[in-house]
Each structure stands twice: as C-alpha cells, then as structure tokens.
C-alpha cells in the first residue's frame, strides 16, 4: 500500500512538472526549440538530425554562446505524428516561450502544420524539411525559413543532366508521403518548362511490391526513372528494377532523400548503376579545391566523428547548418524578434556544409541549384559523378 | 489447474461478455455513489481552464482531452455495451474532420455547417457498413471497420484536390459569431466543453433508456432477449451509427480547433490506440472513458522525458493494469469497494 | 504485344503469390491463437517484424543467412512462449476481449523493445539464393519468391500433419472444437493456449525471415503486416487452415493486380473494397464452415 501511495505521489508530481513544464530559465539565455521525429516511421532520419542540432548547440555554447548568451536547447520528439508535433509546437511557443524553432519533425507534413503556428505567434522557424509549400507563398510565411533545397531546383538540376545525356522521356516514381507528392507537383511544372515527356507513378511508403509500377514505366518507354522517397521502399525499387532488368537499360536516379549508406548497403548490387541527386556533403572530399563548401564539410565531418564516433551524413548537415543560421540571425537581431527575422532574410552568401545560403524577402529557402550534384555508390562510398 | 469455460467461446456472438455499468444503472460501486457529483464538479472546474491560464499549450491539452473524451466514450459505448470491436474509429473521426474541413476550406460554406455535415456523414457511413455486417455474428465488424479505415486513409492521401493529400488540409475557416472568431484554443474551448458535456449527458441518458435496457438484456442472453421481442440487429445498428456520428462530431471540432488536419492523425494505428485507451480506462464503465481520455492526453506529456522509452513504459503499464484490473482503471474503484466491504464482495 | 501482356500478367501474379504466401503464414498464426482463445491477436504482426529484425542482426553478426534465419525463428517462437507465460497465463479470467486488449499492449511493448535494442534503421539481408532471378515465360522471378512459396507450402503441410497425427495437435483441435468437453477428458486447456502462442509466433517468425530479403523491415512494420494477415484470415474463413492459405493468396493477388491494372494510387483501397464485398456476399469466408449465423 505504501509503495502504491508512493507511486501515486510520484505520478502526481510528474504530472505537475510535466504539465506546467516548470523550467527555470537560465538568466539571459537564448532559447531554441527543436521538434524532430526520433521515433515512428521517420525515426531513422530523426536521430542524425537531432545529433546535428546537438553538435551545433554544444559547439556554440563551448565557444561562449551567442554574444555571451548561452543557448538553452529544448528538444521534443514528434514521433512522426502530426498531432503530437502540433501539441509540442504549442508547448514551445506558449509554455517554453522559445526565441526560435529549428527543425520541423523531419516530415514535410509536420513542418507544414507548424509553419502557420510560428507565423501566428511571430516566432522565427527554420524548417529542416523539404516541401516548398513550407515557405511559400512567402507573403504568408514571413517568419518561416527553410535550410533545405527546393524540389523545383533539384528537378531542374536533374533536367540539366537529362539534357546533357539526351534523355527526354522521364518517369517520376514518388511515394505518397508529403515528400514524394511535393516533388510530383513540382515535376509537372519542371517537365513543362524543360520540355520533358513526363510519366507519373506513385507508391505507398509501406509498399513492398513495385513490380506493377515498374512494368508500366517500362511499357511506356521511359528512358530514366526518378525515384522520390526517404523510405526503405526505395531499396525495393532498386531490387525490383534490377529484377526486371531495368538497371541495364534505363538511367535510375534517387532523390537527395535517399543519400544514405545504410540504404546503399541494403540494395547491394542493385545500386551499382544508380545515380543520386545529392547535396555536396556526401562527396565533400572529392569536390574540387575551388569549391568553398569543401572545408566546411571537412570541419563538420571531423567534429561530428569526434563527438558521436560515426560518420555524419547530409541530414546531420541540414540541422547543423540550420542552428548556425539561427545563431547568425540571433547575434544580429538580439532580443528583438522582428530584427532576428529581418536578419535571417538578410543572410547572403553564407558558407555552410550544406552549401551556400542566400535568403531574401522574396525567397525563404536559401540553397541554390548549384549546391546539387549527382553522385553514385561504388567501393563502399559515395562518389562524385556529375559536378555542375 | 484447468478451469473449463475460463477462456471464452470463440463461436459466441461477440468477443466481449458485455459489461453492465453500475453508474448508469445502479449505485453499488464507489464511483456509482460519489461519481455523479464528483463528475459535475470536475466538469465545472474544467470550464475554468481557459479563464485561469493564458498558456495556450495548457488550454490545448484541455481541448485535446475533450476531443479524446468524445472519441473514447463513443467507442466505449460500442465495445462495452455492444461487445463489438471497431478497428475504424479513427476513420470516423477523420471522416468528420475532413467533411467539416472541406465544407469550409474548399466549398466556402459557413463553417458551422460542418457540425451537422460531419455528424451526418459519419452516421450514414456507419449505417452503410452496419447493415450488411451487424446481422452477422463474429468478428465482421472488426474486419469491416479495419477495411473502412484503410480505404479512408487511401482517400485522404490521394484525393489531393479535396483533402490536400499527405501534406494536410490547410485553409480551414474558424467557427465564429459575427466578427468574434473561435480561432484560438481559449476561444474554442467553451464550445468543445459544451459539446463534450452534451455527449456525456446523452450517453448517460441513453444507457438508462429503453435502448440501454435492451442492450443489457442482449448482453445477458441475446436469444432470450430476442424471444422477448428485442431486435438485436436494430439496436446494434443504432448504437453503431451513434458511435460513428459522435466520432464525426469530434472530428469536426478537432479540425476547427487546429484549422488543419493531415491523414496520419486518422490511420488505423490511431484506431488501435483509442481501443487501448478504452481498455485502460475501463471498458463498459461510464467513467472508464474519462480515465482513458485523461491517460491519452496526459501520458505523452508525462512520459516525454523518457524519450525513446516512453512507448515501452506505456505498453508495459497497459499490460500490468489489465492484468491486475481486467476492467481497466475504473475497476480500481470496484477493488476499493471490495477491500472496504469484504463481506459483500 | 500479347506475349508482352502475358508476361506482364505473369509478373504480377508471381509478385502477388509471393506476398500472398506471407499473408497466408500470418493468417495461420492468427487463426491458431484465435481458435484456442477466441481473441484477435494484435501481436501477430510484431512477430513477423521480429523474425526479420532478429535474423538481420544475427546475419550481420555471423554472416550465414540460413543459420541466422533459423536462430531468428527459434528466438521468435521462444518470445511467443514467454509472452504467453508472462502476459496471458497469469490471468484469472482470460476472456477473449481481455486477451485481445492485452495483445495490443504486448504489441506496443514488443515494438518499442525492438526499437530500443535493435535500432530504428531498416534492416535486410541477401536472399537464400543471393540475387538469383529466374526467367519464367518472360516474367522475371527472384529465387526468393520461389523460396517463400515453397516454405509457406511446407509449413502448411507440416501444420496439417501436426494437427492430424500428433497427440498435441489432436488435443489442440479438441480444445478448439469444444473447450469444456476437452477439459473434461483431461486436456489441459490453459496449456493449449500456450502452444497456440508458440505456433503463432513460429508462423510469424518464419514469414518475417523469408520476406525480409525482398521487402526489408524495420521496427514499425509489424502492425501493417498483422492487419494484412487478419484480413487474409477473415477472407479465407477465420479458423480454417486451408482457408488461411487461400485467403492470403487471394489478398496478395488482389493487391498486385489492382496496382497493375487499376491504379497504383488507389490499390489498397481497391483491394479492401473487393475484400469487403466478398465478405458481404460470403460471410463465412471462402473456405470457412458455412455456420455463420444471421441474426
């Protein structure tokens, strides 16, 4: 009975602190809130992205903080659930009263749900997710910025490659998540602008059989397949394309969401002929020395390895850079949120491991097309295949 | 060691021996005695939330609690009083949410129209599913609702021009009175409080009514009840339609309080979690739903500090609660009464 | 052109058969537990996921695919046993509803335990015959698909033999047919529940280890395959062994053909609509006993 009463007391105590979130605010600290999914279906991305934030925050604090003010970092796991993320965003905004939100659940759908809340509360939000709609139309997203490249630009980069190789008939095989469907929408625009003959197919992220879709793509006479997913179904795509012999005849390309060593190892020989649209991070050491991003990648790679004892990937860079973007703006804007927002908009030619960021009042996703390269997988690593 | 008849008979009508609720009918349990009064006090105190705090987050937890309560109480009616398992409650919830959202965001109709529209849509679909399925004895409702939820998930994701697809439905207009818009958590809270209160009151009356008596008779023996003229199919259909429409109402209020909805909030895993909450709170117990909704709302907030381990703790907790209190947390009240008056157990 | 269309149909059919055989195995697991307890076992899908995850961990550690898979199957069966002993056996009144609800808790627990121990990354390993692909009249069929169909068939036959010819199997059937009568003739009903969990976990574990080379798995994949298995069991007629096989195959083919000939966007919806229509017309399932009562 005693233990039960103890449990109840502990439970009540936890409820109280849990609900009220009594957290003593360190005097003169900058509060940054982060929402990422480190559990649920998107978890395999979330952990890397969380570690990226962690590394950046620790580095900044060790170096004395932002103008002498330490970062007080608050992290919530959105569990790949939009509802969970909405509650957490409310908590960050009205309970924890953060100065900035960095990271939107590593799912475009979640970032899209958080964006209007940040907008309404006038809190700067740097999304580390992909979909263009997160920051567009900019008129309704004055407070929302994005540290990833727009699908529109990535698809244009792919079209550059198709032009070079004389490929005209292109199939987009996108998953039904926000990530895939966002690309499907942009692909219609880009295909028209670049005069490509487009074929559209989709699959559910949980699908284990893509033979029907691949059969139709083959019968339609596609010359290349662009696969848009971050889920293991992308490995199934590779395996079954190989099974149908498509890897011999067609150009297979995965999007930047699939640049993961783990996936390449799972795909094995099916990834031998694959190209990936990637940020430069995965092939940092193979970039020409003239590329200003190269040393940034080397620094982050070394620091991350020292801290976490594993090799970082571009998802680490995505959030790591976002924190440094936040730092730059917070240093300039101080305690005035509107000034911080304006400072973010004013960031120009900012060199980072993901590439070169330039924001403007009209443009809230800061990476240009030139930050995308094509890579392949050989000898157990990513290699530069097509540079600008 | 062997206890014949212990494990239920798979061939029986429903997989739940139906509970007979003490709160609605009699007053022999602890909760039955102090319950109604305590509940009224609790309910009045609840209304004060948006007036005592300016913290939007705390108010939003109150909003979530009220929505969860409507969902869990309606599911509890179906499981606890009809002995039917639904694996598609989140589907009805989503149907209501998207109906209301599309009415205001895509067709530009006054958002208040979403309230009846979502209730009616959900009830109609429930009747449509119920007619072929509820005549059958067995797990057909579980199967049909599972399929229904899966089909709806596909539609929410794929009918992009209507639903916004996987990125969710944006542009939902808030409810309002003239220029006073219910566009913050604090402003919509009283409406939710009222709706959830009416639902809880209605359920209490229903359980006491002719329908409730018929359900109890059916629970005792379907054959006997039918020979006395109780039409089992009709009563199950009524309850199922009512369950669906309450979930639809909850969906409408959900989308109006978030002004946003995305498909992942309505997939079958949510249906399963709701089922788990009914079980944890106490199936077939009026107050079970209140406890279930409290847990569903508070558990993620309390367990947050455990990060990755929170689902593990939750799963283990659920197993332990059900092992010791097979009728859920509401069953603790019974256990207390037994301790208190051992002679009359 | 017709040859191409024929090959394409064949391609879809093989893909459907492969997935269908997996659904059939899961459906059998579902059925076995259902027959002995009357409960819907939500843990069934998690056992499939466990099979794949444990095999992947074992294979990445020791390299031998066959050995890894065997170890995984044994471990999953053992987990089924322990789960029943810890969760179901202590119950004073194990009603079907209580067991069903407990299995939800068990599924949540299993899933998060896997996440904490084996990680969040998707896992996979090479097929039993590597990446070997057969050419069957123009359709390209991975050897693993053939393995899957063969192993599912063997399991089915073994299960049949077990229920027909062994004492334990016969006693399990007796319990499923009439619990009270079985207990009157001295059969331990409680123990039969334990064995049904072991067999269910075994079926799930096997399904998980043989499908993972083709589809990969991760800790959160269990629920989905569990529901497919439940659907297959309902379709075949819940409680029937051969019905489970047929239900699984029909569901697998439905999905594959719907994606191939109707729409990849709406394939799950199409498959479920057809499935529900079949159930409305034939409530006892394709091979179930025609004893469904209409009220």
Residues B37-76 have pLDDT tens digits of 888 888 888 888 888 888 888 999 999 999 999 999 999 9
Residues B104-148 have pLDDT tens digits of 988 888 989 999 999 999 999 999 999 988 887 777 888 889 999
Residues C31-43 have pLDDT tens digits of 899 888 888 899 9
Model confidence band, residue C28 (pLDDT cutoffs 50, 70, 90) = very high
| CB–CB contact C90 B136 (8 Å) | no
| CB–CB contact A116 B259 (8 Å) | yes
| CB–CB contact B323 C106 (8 Å) | no
- The average pLDDT across C266-281 equals 82
**Predicted pLDDT of residue B4:** 37
The answer on pLDDT for B27 being more than 50 is no
Token pair recorded at residue B145 = 């609702």
Measure Cα distances from C265 to A181, C31, C249, C261 in Å.
Answer: 11, 31, 22, 11
| CB–CB contact A244 C255 (8 Å) | no
CB C202 within 8 A of CB C108: no
| Å between B1 CA and nearest CA of chain A | 30
The torsion region of residue B307 among left (phi > 0), alpha (psi -120 to 50) and beta comes to left
| More reliable by pLDDT, B15 or A259 | A259
In chain B, whose CA is at the least distance from the CA of C103?
Answer: B319
Model confidence band, residue B285 (pLDDT cutoffs 50, 70, 90) = confident
Contacts of A76 in chain B (CB under 8 A): 304
Distance in angstroms (rounded) separating the CA atoms of residues A289 and A277: 21
Secondary structure of A209-241 in HEC code, one letter for each residue: CCHHHHHHHHHCCCCEEEEECCCCHHHHHHHHH
* ipTM value: 0.87
Q: Which residue has the tokens 């105590």?
A: A13
Contacts of C142 in chain A (CB under 8 A): 239, 243
Task: Tell me which of C90, C182, C295 to substitute to probe the interface with B (most B C-beta atoms closer than 10 Å).
Answer: C295
The torsion region of residue C239 among left (phi > 0), alpha (psi -120 to 50) and beta comes to left
Token pair recorded at residue A263 = 């996936």
Distance in angstroms (rounded) separating the CA atoms of residues C254 and C232: 11
Contacts of B269 in chain A (CB under 8 A): none
DSSP strand E in chain B: where? Answer: 176-177, 180-181
Given a contact as 3+ CB pairs under 8 Å, which chains touch C? A, B
Distance in angstroms (rounded) separating the CA atoms of residues A150 and A210: 27
CB A309 within 8 A of CB A300: no
**CB nearest to C105's CB, from B151, B276, B308:** B276
**Predicted pLDDT of residue A366:** 82
Token pair recorded at residue C215 = 């589809």
- The average pLDDT across A174-197 equals 90
**CB nearest to C295's CB, from B135, B158, B312:** B135
**Which DSSP state fits B78?**
I
Distance in angstroms (rounded) separating the CA atoms of residues B159 and A267: 32
Task: Tell me which of A51, A84, A113, A180 to substitute to probe the interface with B (most B C-beta atoms closer than 10 Å).
Answer: A113
A84/B contact by beta carbon, under 8 A: yes
- The average pLDDT across B207-234 equals 76
Cβ atoms within 10 Å, residue C209: 32
**CB nearest to A90's CB, from B56, B262, B311:** B56
Measure Cα distances from B163 to A229, B89, B95, B102, B261 in Å.
Answer: 21, 19, 11, 7, 9
Residues B297-322 have pLDDT tens digits of 988 888 877 777 888 898 999 999 99
Supply the DSSP string of B28-47, one letter for each residue: -SHHHHHHHHHHHHHHHHHH
CB A217 within 8 A of CB C261: no
Cβ neighbors of A357 (< 8 A, separation 6 or more) are A147, A321, A325, A347, A349, A350, A366, A367
In chain A, whose CA is at the least distance from the CA of C144?
Answer: A243
ω before A78 within 30° of 0 (cis)? Answer: no
The answer on pLDDT for A31 being more than 90 is yes
> What is the interface size between A and B, counted as CB pairs within 8 Å?
89
- The average pLDDT across C66-83 equals 94
| CB–CB contact B61 A182 (8 Å) | no
**CB nearest to B56's CB, from A76, A93, A131:** A93
Contacts of C247 in chain B (CB under 8 A): none
Model confidence band, residue B31 (pLDDT cutoffs 50, 70, 90) = low
Interface residues from chain A to C (CB-CB < 8 Å): 38-41, 43-44, 46-47, 176, 201-204, 206, 208-209, 211-213, 215-216, 219, 232, 235-236, 239, 242-245, 262-263, 266, 268-270
Cβ atoms within 10 Å, residue C266: 18
Token pair recorded at residue B166 = 């996987």
Distance in angstroms (rounded) separating the CA atoms of residues B308 and C265: 33
| Å between C251 CA and nearest CA of chain A | 13
Distance in angstroms (rounded) separating the CA atoms of residues B79 and B48: 32
Looking from the CA of B55 toward its CB, the CA atoms found within 13 Å total 17
């Amino acid at each position: 009975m005693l233990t039960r009463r103890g449990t109840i007391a502990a439970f009540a105590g936890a409820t109280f602190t849990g609900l009220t979130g009594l957290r003593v605010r360190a005097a003169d600290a900058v509060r940054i809130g982060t929402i990422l999914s480190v559990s649920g279906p998107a978890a395999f991305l979330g952990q890397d992205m969380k570690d990226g934030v962690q590394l950046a925050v620790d580095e900044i604090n060790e170096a004395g903080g932002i103008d002498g003010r330490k970062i007080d970092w608050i992290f919530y796991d959105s569990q790949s659930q939009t509802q969970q993320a909405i509650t957490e965003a409310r908590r960050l905004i009205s309970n924890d009263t953060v100065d900035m939100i960095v990271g939107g659940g590593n799912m475009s759908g979640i970032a899209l749900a958080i964006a209007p809340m940040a907008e309404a509360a006038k809190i700067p939000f740097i999304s580390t997710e992909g979909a263009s709609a997160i920051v567009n139309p900019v008129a309704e997203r004055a407070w929302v910025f994005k540290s990833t490249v727009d699908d529109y630009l990535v698809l244009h980069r792919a079209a550059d490659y198709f032009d070079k190789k004389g490929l005209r008939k292109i199939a987009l095989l996108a998953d039904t998540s926000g990530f895939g469907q966002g690309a499907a929408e942009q692909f219609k625009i880009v295909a028209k602008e670049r005069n490509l003959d487009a074929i559209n197919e989709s699959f559910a992220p949980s699908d284990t059989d893509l033979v029907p879709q691949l059969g139709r793509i083959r019968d339609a006479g596609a010359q290349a397949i662009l696969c848009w997913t971050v889920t293991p179904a992308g490995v199934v795509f590779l395996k079954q394309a190989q099974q149908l012999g498509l890897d011999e005849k067609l150009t297979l390309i995965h999007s930047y969401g699939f640049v993961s060593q783990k996936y390449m190892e799972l795909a094995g020989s099916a990834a031998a002929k694959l190209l990936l649209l990637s940020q430069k991070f995965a092939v940092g050491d193979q970039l020409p020395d003239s590329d200003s991003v190269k040393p940034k990648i080397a620094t982050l790679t070394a620091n991350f390895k020292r801290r976490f004892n594993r090799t970082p990937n571009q998802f680490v860079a995505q959030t790591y850079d976002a924190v440094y973007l936040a730092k730059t703006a917070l240093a300039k804007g101080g305690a005035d949120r509107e000034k911080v927002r304006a400072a973010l908009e004013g960031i120009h030619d900012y060199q980072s491991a993901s590439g070169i960021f330039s924001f403007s009042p009209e443009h809230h996703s800061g990476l240009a097309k030139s930050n995308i390269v094509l890579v392949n997988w050989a000898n157990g690593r990513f290699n530069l295949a097509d540079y600008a | 060691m062997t206890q014949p008849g212990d494990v239920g008979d798979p061939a029986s009508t429903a997989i739940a021996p139906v509970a007979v609720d003490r709160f609605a009918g009699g007053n022999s349990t602890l909760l039955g005695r102090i319950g109604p009064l305590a509940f009224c006090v609790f309910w009045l105190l609840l209304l004060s939330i948006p007036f005592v705090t300016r913290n939007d987050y705390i108010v939003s937890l109150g909003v979530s609690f009220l929505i969860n309560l409507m969902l869990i109480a309606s599911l509890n009616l179906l499981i606890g009083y009809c002995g039917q398992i639904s694996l598609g409650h989140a589907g009805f919830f989503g149907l209501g949410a998207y109906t209301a959202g599309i009415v205001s965001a895509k067709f530009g109709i006054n958002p208040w129209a979403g309230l009846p529209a979502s209730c009616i849509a959900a009830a109609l679909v429930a009747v449509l599913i119920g007619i072929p399925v509820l005549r059958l004895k067995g797990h057909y409702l579980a199967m049909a609702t599972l399929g229904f939820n899966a089909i709806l998930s596909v539609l929410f994701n794929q009918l992009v021009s209507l639903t916004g697809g996987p990125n969710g439905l944006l542009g939902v207009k808030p409810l309002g009175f003239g220029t006073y818009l219910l566009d913050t958590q604090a402003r919509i809270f009283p409406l939710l409080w009222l709706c959830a209160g009416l639902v809880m009151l209605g359920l209490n009356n229903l359980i006491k009514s002719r329908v409730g008596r018929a359900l109890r008779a059916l629970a005792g023996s379907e054959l006997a009840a039918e020979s006395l003229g109780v039409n089992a199919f009709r009563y199950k259909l009524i309850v199922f339609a009512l369950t669906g429409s309450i979930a639809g109402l909850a969906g409408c209020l959900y989308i109006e309080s978030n002004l946003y909805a995305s498909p992942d909030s309505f997939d079958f895993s949510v249906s399963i979690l709701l089922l788990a909450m009914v079980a944890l709170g106490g199936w077939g117990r009026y107050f079970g739903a209140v406890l279930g909704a409290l847990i569903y709302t508070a558990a993620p907030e309390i367990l947050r500090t455990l990060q990755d381990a929170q689902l593990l703790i939750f799963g283990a907790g659920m197993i332990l609660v059900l092992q010791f209190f097979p009728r859920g947390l509401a069953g603790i009240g019974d256990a207390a009464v037994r301790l208190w008056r051992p002679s009359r157990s | 052109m017709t040859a191409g269309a024929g090959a394409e149909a064949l391609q879809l059919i093989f893909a459907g058969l492969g997935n269908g055989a997996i659904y059939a195995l899961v459906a059998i697991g579902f059925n076995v537990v259902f027959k002995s307890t009357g409960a819907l076992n939500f843990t069934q899908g998690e056992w499939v996921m466990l099979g794949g995850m444990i095999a992947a961990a074992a294979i990445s550690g020791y390299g031998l695919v066959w050995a890894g898979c065997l170890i995984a199957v044994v471990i999953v069966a053992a987990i089924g046993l322990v789960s029943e002993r810890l969760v179901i056996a202590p119950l004073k009144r194990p009603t079907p509803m209580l067991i069903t609800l407990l299995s939800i808790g068990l599924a949540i627990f299993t899933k998060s335990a896997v996440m904490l121990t084996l990680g969040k990354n998707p896992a996979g390993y090479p097929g039993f015959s590597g990446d070997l692909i057969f050419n069957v009249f123009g359709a390209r069929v991975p050897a693993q698909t053939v393995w899957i169909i063969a192993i599912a068939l063997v399991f089915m036959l073994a299960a049949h033999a077990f229920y027909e010819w062994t004492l334990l199997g016969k006693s399990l059937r007796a319990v499923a047919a009439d619990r009270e009568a079985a207990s009157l003739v001295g059969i331990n009903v409680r123990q039969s529940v334990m064995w049904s969990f072991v067999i269910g976990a075994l079926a799930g574990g096997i399904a998980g280890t043989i499908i993972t080379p083709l589809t990969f798995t991760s800790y959160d994949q269990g629920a989905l395959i569990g529901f497919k298995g439940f659907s297959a069991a309902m379709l075949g007629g819940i409680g029937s062994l051969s019905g489970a096989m047929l239900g699984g195959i029909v569901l697998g083919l439905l999905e594959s053909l719907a994606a191939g000939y109707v729409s990849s966007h709406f394939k799950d919806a199409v498959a479920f609509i057809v499935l529900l229509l079949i159930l409305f017309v034939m409530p006892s399932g394709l091979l179930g006993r025609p004893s469904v009562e209409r009220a």
